[in-house]
Structures are given as C-alpha cells and as structure tokens.
Chain A
Amino acid sequence: SQQGEEDPQALSIQEGENATMNCSYKTSINNLQWYRQNSGRGLVHLILIRSNEREKHSGRLRVTLDTSKKSSSLLITASRAADTASYFCATGRGGADGLTFGKGTHLIIQP
C-alpha cells in the first residue's frame, strides 16, 4: 500500500521560479527521502531527512519534515529546465521493513 502521497500530482512553473512539492504519510517513520526520476530512467536519490530532523538543505534543495503533521515538503529554488522530472517521496520505518514510495509529482519547468 502507498505510504506517501505527493501533492500536487503535476506542477508547471517558469524557469527561475521556486517549486514546492508536498508529501504526506500515515505511519511513524525512521526517515523520509526524496528521489527524482527523469523520463524513462531510474530514480536518483536527492536527500534524506531523519525523523529527529526538521529541515535539511542540499544545494538548491530544501526539505522540511513535520512529524506531528506527518508531512514533508521539497523546495527547489531558482528552478532550471533540467529540473523537469518526476519527484517521489519515500518513507522508511526501519526494522524489517523496506522503503515505500508515493505516486510522485511531475514537475515541468517552462523555459
């Protein structure tokens, strides 16, 4: 079953603008991860945030985590055409469980 749900399902913005995607999940987690998938390719890991962290940065990426609301957001600043891709959140609960992915947000950056 899906653990994470991304919102919106699709997002189209102009190059240079900021893009924000949200992820909600249902159960307690050990960590939350964001991945990017270019069309027809495998997924690439972007960033991991642990359950005891609230915010994390990596280059133009900023991720927040609110465990009380069971939600996370991914912000991409100063977007570029090359950022066009699908973005997925994934949650890990640790223990014997694996990693569960949401359905993704398809981001289009208009040049």
Chain B
Amino acid sequence: GAGVSQSPSNKVTEKGKDVELRCDPISGHTALYWYRQSLGQGLEFLIYFQGNSAPDKSGLPSDRFSAERTGGSVSTLTIQRTQQEDSAVYLCASSLGAGGTGELFFGEGSRLTVL
C-alpha cells in the first residue's frame, strides 16, 4: 500500500500484559514518529526516529515503553506490564523530510484498551 500501515487496528488486553504495536511507514521515508492520543485529547509525542541517528525518546512516559525501528523501515512500539492509563490510540507517522521540515503522513492508529 502507498500509505502508513499500522497493526493491529484494535487491541484489547488485560492489565499487566505486554503489547506490541507495529508501524509500516511509507517506503523511503526516513523520519518516523509515534504519538499517543487519549479520548478527545491532542497528540502526545512519544518517540521520533530519523534515519540512522539515535532516536529522540524524550516523550516516552515510563520505562515500560520502548520502540525500535529495524532496517530504517518498520517500527514496533512495545508496552510492558500494561496499565489502564495506557488505554489510548497510538498513532504512527512518517515523513520524507527530517526535523519536522515536511508533511507527516499518518496511519489510522492502533486503539489500545487495557481492562
């Protein structure tokens, strides 16, 4: 597909379980972002990958959150020992340009519900 693909689209899990969310960016896009959006709220920055540079992890809310980007393409966001407050929509976006200089293309998000 030509757009950013995220999976799963919906995930329901029990408190304490680990979850993995996947993002497949647009081919050739060097920048990849993860954001979190709680119901009716704005976007909370989580992590930013740019090419081969060390990622900007400054937005990760706790050490239960981690992300990696393999081969400069697909990214996985992992949440360990999930808590109810982790319930949100997790949005991934990619961009051709670096440093927020260009348009971001968003996926449809992964909706996480922690029971």
A→B interface (CB under 8 Å): 2, 30-31, 33, 35, 41-45, 48, 88, 90-104
Contact = CB atoms under 8 A, between A and B. Distances in A.
A41 B108 contact: yes
A60 B104 CA distance: 21
Considering residues A35, A43, A48, A97, which has the most beta carbons from chain B within 10 angstroms of its beta carbon?
A43
Given A30-B101, A93-B100, A97-B99, A42 B91 contact: yes
Given A97-B100, A99-B100, A104-B42, 14 more contacts: A30-B99, A31-B101, A33-B104, A42-B107, A45-B105, A93-B100, A97-B99, A98-B31, A98-B45, A98-B50, A98-B56, A100-B45, A101-B45, A103-B42
B42 A91 contact: no
Interface of B: 4, 31, 33, 35, 41-43, 45, 48, 50, 53, 56, 91, 93, 95, 99-109
B56 A88 contact: no
A42 B108 contact: yes
Nearest to B91: A42
B106 A43 contact: yes
A97 B109 CA distance: 22
Contacts of A42: 4, 91, 93, 106-109
B104 A43 contact: yes
